[in-house]
Chains A and B, each alone.
Chain A
Amino acid sequence: MELIARLLALGVPHPFLMTTPGSTSVRLAVEKLVRERGWSEALSPADADMLVLCGQGGPEFNKAAGRVWEQLPAPRARIVISAAQAASDCLDAAAAALRDLEGFRRLEADRPDVAPMAAEPMNKDDGGGPAMSGHADSETATSDTGSDSDMSGMDIAGSESNMSGMDMDMELPGGRPMADRGADRDGLKLDQLHLVLGPALPDWPAGLVVRLVLQGDVAQCAEISVLAGGTDGRAISSFWADLLGGAAQSEQTGHLELVSAAAATDSLQRFLSVAGWQSAARTGRRLRDGLLEAAVTDSSSTDTASTGTAVTDAARADSAARRHTLYPQCRRWLRTVRRSRLLRWSIAGLGHLDNGVSSCLCGDVTARVLRWMDDISIVLDPASGAAGDEVLALGRAPDPGQSTSVPDPGSLLASRAATARVALTALPQLLAGQELAAVRLIVASLDPDIEALQAQAAGLEQSPPLSPEVPSGQTPVHSHGQSND
């Protein structure tokens, strides 16, 4: 027993993160803390000992979270973090709960079924029985939304039953429906698997759900849906759009670019992670945290600048010093990524979108990734800012009304939402016929901001007068109005 307690204390927690749309700020805070503490993020529920739910989710999200929770082997803890400021305390408490051997023993004694994953009668309509184990352990965590759980799909993303009557009868012991056959692209007749990507998947856009029909690991068709975010009628806010909007309002030069660089770094580190370049992705995550911090201190210093205190000068000097160390690291990282021939070779020619579709998304995966890098380099090298502006003008040509003057927060949100909408519309066609790895790369390169989409939708409902500000050229409809290329 003494030995077990010691081993328990030695282990480094492996949190499994699930993010609801609208909780990007929480995700960023948790990722930063996890990185700083040297914890390693779990890739699958089986590897995780801590289920971290970033934000309160809707019923569909909770159902998925319940499924994931079923698959976590003991010892385990579950936490819901609703606000970024609470992240540190919540993680501390969960880590402490994971080391509480006595607590686990008490739970073991109380719990009727010892193994949470033990095969139980797999009845899809039976949500009551298996949920018990979820509630029993959840007492170890600090806060818990006791969600109901079903055990229909036991892999990470759950599995969808296809609804032909015969298949329902042929259910396997694992609750997985018997795969049925279909013609594949090579003229063979192969079994089809139904795989759901999201919401419980590392490096996946929050709120996106893609239902794939697989043969081998080739996606035959894809169906896109979006998770409803926000429970209790709270309006969803888009983290990046809000930050960009705040930066656009501030009079400080280069602030908007800094925020957009932080956003681009977040997307890029996620893409690198999906591309299997862990080491570059880890560096990217560290630099993203740095850029974000710089952006936030900037905005707070401009806020206080109006009051004219001496603190601001110190804060500015501090942030300048920090940038002095941060920017060279960013430059080095960006150079490594940009020059990687292997990366270009491996992603070349994937997910090509027509030029007319949307200016920020056109081209293939490589083009989109390079665009993020340009976004970052503008901040790093103001000297090359002119060239960067040209790239900006050529590559994405925002709407005529938008490019001339300072963009206002509403239009920034609208443009992010429109981009996300275009991405979602284009996805099914892009994904059909791709290998699973390519599917992940394409989604990561589009990185649709579901939050912005939902925030905009909520905003439109509340205040219809905002609607004229939606840029007309960025609707999902195929538009020929773009001047580029």
Chain B
Amino acid sequence: MQTVIFLICAVGAVAAGIAVFRVDSMARATLALLASFVVAAIPILLLGLSYLGVLVILMMVMEMMIMAVFMVMYMMNPAGLMPMKMVHNNRMSLVIAAVVFVLLAAGALLTPWPSGGRATSDPTLALGMDLMGPHMLVMIVIGLALFATMIAVVVLSTHRGRYDRFGDDLRRRTPDDPVRGGLGK
């Protein structure tokens, strides 16, 4: 049963992945990629890592829909079925794809996986301990640093800062925005 589900998901993920490059519209490509990710999350559920699996579905749907909006922002024709090539720089991408695939496959095949497996009540916790081990604190700090970096980059690159909004002496009570927000007086 599990093998069958796994095979269906594997084939589905690969097929959806291929579809990303075969369809001729940005929206379809984005959603095909989303389908591929969602199908790839199901084997994680099969491993008993239900939290991670469901989280992958949740995050991928949100992330890909935001990506769709960014894409549409720059290409706004509704249902833009304008035939559009979804592949660029074919030769180099083929090489990169092949190398990455070989590396990942080699990693999967050559890693000395533990045999037999250990029964555990909380596979998510066990996986975290195995992956991170004693470096959990380090990883948490790195995560925070990454998040702070993202916010800093957005703040630095934004077109309008607080001086534009509240005046040079920051004394303006209501911000000067092109569109008024909900807290404006």
Contact = CB atoms under 8 A, between A and B. Distances in A.
Q: Do A and B bind each other?
A: yes
A185 B82 CA distance: 27
Contacts of B73: 188, 190-191, 216
Interface in A405-443: 433-435, 438
A179 B76 contact: yes
A191 B74 CA distance: 6
A435 B81 CA distance: 26
B134 interface: no
Contact of B76 (A187, A190, A350, A438): A190
Interface residues of A, number: 26
A438 B179 CA distance: 10
Interface in B151-185: 159-160, 178-180, 182, 184
B12 to A, nearest CB: 29
Nearest to B179: A435
Nearest to A181: B74
Interface in B68-90: 73-82
A435 B184 CA distance: 17
Contacts of B78: 174, 176
A172 B179 contact: no
Contacts of B179: 218, 433-435, 438
Contact of B77 (A178, A190, A216, A438): A178
A257 to B, nearest CB: 35
Given A172-B82, A178-B82, A185 B77 contact: no
Given A172-B82, A435-B179, A187 B74 contact: no
Given A179-B76, A190-B74, A191-B75, A174 B182 contact: no
Contacts of B184: 348-349
A349 B74 contact: no
B67 to A, nearest CB: 16
Contacts of A218: 179
Interface in A103-150: none
A185 B178 contact: yes
Contacts of B159: 186-187
Nearest to B182: A345
A173 B74 contact: no
Question: Interface residues of B: mostly helix, strand, loop or mixed?
Answer: loop
A301 B3 CA distance: 86
Interface in A167-183: 170, 172-174, 176, 178-179
A72 B28 CA distance: 27
Contact of A176 (B77, B178, B180): B77
B178 A433 contact: yes
Contacts of B178: 185-186, 433
A187 B161 CA distance: 14
Contacts of B182: 345
Contact of A191 (B76, B79, B160, B180): B76
Given A190-B74, A191-B75, A349 B81 contact: no
Nearest to B160: A186
A215 B184 CA distance: 24
A108 B144 CA distance: 65
A170 B80 CA distance: 12
Contacts of B81: 172-174
Interface string B44-74: 0000000000000000000000000000011
Nearest to B77: A179
A193 interface: yes
A183 to B, nearest CB: 12
A216 B184 CA distance: 23
A317 B97 CA distance: 87
A115 B41 CA distance: 40
A188 B77 CA distance: 17
B79 A174 contact: yes
Contact of A172 (B74, B77, B180): B77
Contact of B80 (A172, A215, A345): A172
A193 B76 contact: yes
Contacts of A348: 180, 184
Nearest to B158: A186
A252 B86 CA distance: 74
Given A173-B81, A173-B82, A193-B77, 17 more contacts: A170-B82, A172-B81, A172-B82, A174-B78, A174-B79, A176-B78, A185-B178, A186-B178, A191-B73, A191-B74, A191-B75, A191-B76, A191-B77, A215-B76, A348-B180, A349-B180, A350-B180
Interface of B: 73-82, 159-160, 178-180, 182, 184
9 contacts: A172-B81, A173-B81, A176-B78, A178-B77, A191-B76, A191-B77, A215-B76, A348-B180, A438-B179
Closest 8 CB pairs of A and B: A191-B76, A187-B159, A179-B76, A349-B180, A172-B82, A185-B178, A179-B77, A193-B76
